[in-house]
Amino acid sequence: MVLNAERLPPMLRISKLTDYATVILARLAEEGAGQHTAVELAELTGIGLPTASKVLKGLQRGGLVASTRGARGGYTLARPAAAISAVDIIDAVEGPLGLTECASHPGQCGLEPSCRVGRSWQRVNVAIRRALGDVKLTQLIGREANAAPAADLAVVLGSRPGLRVRS
């Protein structure tokens, strides 16, 4: 599909940084864990300080952690762990990861008329994001075996007009 799309962010990706972020968030989510400095978090998690710091910055831009600067500053969860989802984490750390490459800027791909494949992958991606949005930090950490409904990929894919995906 791509062929001549300009530089666009890749699709769904879960990489090391996201991993780190989850570990750090896990620490912050621990009971009674108030404020922690980047240094503390780095030591607690075993992640290198500069890297931990970078991750933390991403998380703060993404609005997942709140920060106080200056002496006695540090980081806290911006919202309760149950209100932080897997997509939130991924988006915060890896940037607003795009959909299919030629789908973001329609009209760029020369094959667009003859092919509906790109659109399909995009739907898949959206479905995955939706499902990932139902996975909360509490679940990633281990507590709370709650079960929220996830999007059904196949259904989303086969969506004819009128067929709705249950939210």
Residue 78 has a CB neighbour count (10 Å cut-off) of 16
Rounded CA separation 167/156 (Å):
11
Rounded CA separation 118/130 (Å):
18
Q: Applying CB under 8 A, does 45 fall inside the site for its own copies?
A: yes
**Secondary structure (3-state) at 76:** strand
Rounded CA separation 46/69 (Å):
23
- In the complex, least distance from residue 72 CB atom to its own copies, rounded to whole angstroms: 27
From the list 25-33, 72-80, 83-91, 102-110, the region that binds DNA by CB under 7 A is: 72-80
- In the complex, least distance from residue 60 CB atom to ligand FES, rounded to whole angstroms: 22
What residues line the site for its own copies (CB under 8 A)?
A: 1-3, 10-16, 18-20, 22-23, 26, 45-47, 86, 100-102, 110-111, 115-118, 120-121, 124-125, 127-128, 131-132, 134-136, 139-142, 144-155, 157-160, 163
